[in-house]
Amino acid sequence: GIISLVSLAVLSYERYCTMTRTAEPDTTNYRKTWTGIILSWTYSLLWTLPPLFGWSSYGPEGPGITCSVNWNSKDANNASYIICLFIFCLVIPFAIIVYSYGKLLCAVRQVSSIHKGPGRNREQRILVMVVVMVVCFLLCWLPYAAVALIATFGQPGLITPAASIIPAILAKSSTVYNPIIYVFLNKQV
């Protein structure tokens, strides 16, 4: 899940950089791509390793069919990890996504105001894609984050195993929706 969130943030930033660059992109140079992939995986690894070394722990999630962070533990060690996980693996990637797509939309609007006509259609397509990407991100990850925070900081037993299934499935489906959005909303694909 973390690699999915971080990859979406890296992709949104890379798309912003690519679209706002004035020079023609070099399609034979993969250094920037590999750097983004390595940084995404390293960042995700840094946030998934702490439970193996005692900062929180892993355990069965929901009805016990998947493994995740131990959301139900109420000690300070676990709570501090979950707060950090929430900030650094959900809030910050989401902020990067909103920033990148927002700046991209502003750049497209600026170009569209100079060049009337087909630029308007492109601006509207990008706006629709940005809105769909952000809404899908929120629909997939906010229920899971809310359930995790309620399980960690709420009353014990407030979130039943059955109630945690749908948010977990939504979060796991997040890796599927991005390619679908790109295919249906990008004429170049």
End-to-end CA distance of the chain: 26
Structure tokens at 19: 């679209």
Q: In a 3-state reduction of DSSP, which class is residue 98?
A: helix
**How many whole angstroms separate alpha carbon 14 and alpha carbon 8?**
10
Q: According to the model, what pLDDT value does residue 22 have?
A: 62
Q: In a 3-state reduction of DSSP, which class is residue 58?
A: strand
**How many whole angstroms separate alpha carbon 40 and alpha carbon 42?**
6
**How many whole angstroms separate alpha carbon 2 and alpha carbon 85?**
9
Nearest 10 degrees: Cα torsion 131, 135, 136, 140: 160
Among the listed ranges 22-36, 80-94, 127-141, 151-165, which one has the minimum average pLDDT value? 22-36
112-138 pLDDT, tens per residue? Answer: 666 665 555 666 676 777 778 778 888
59-94 pLDDT, tens per residue? Answer: 887 667 778 888 777 889 988 999 999 999 999 998
| Cα 34-40-42 angle, rounded to 5 deg | 100
Domains for the chain: give ranges and CATH numbers. Answer: 1-185 (1.20.1070.10)
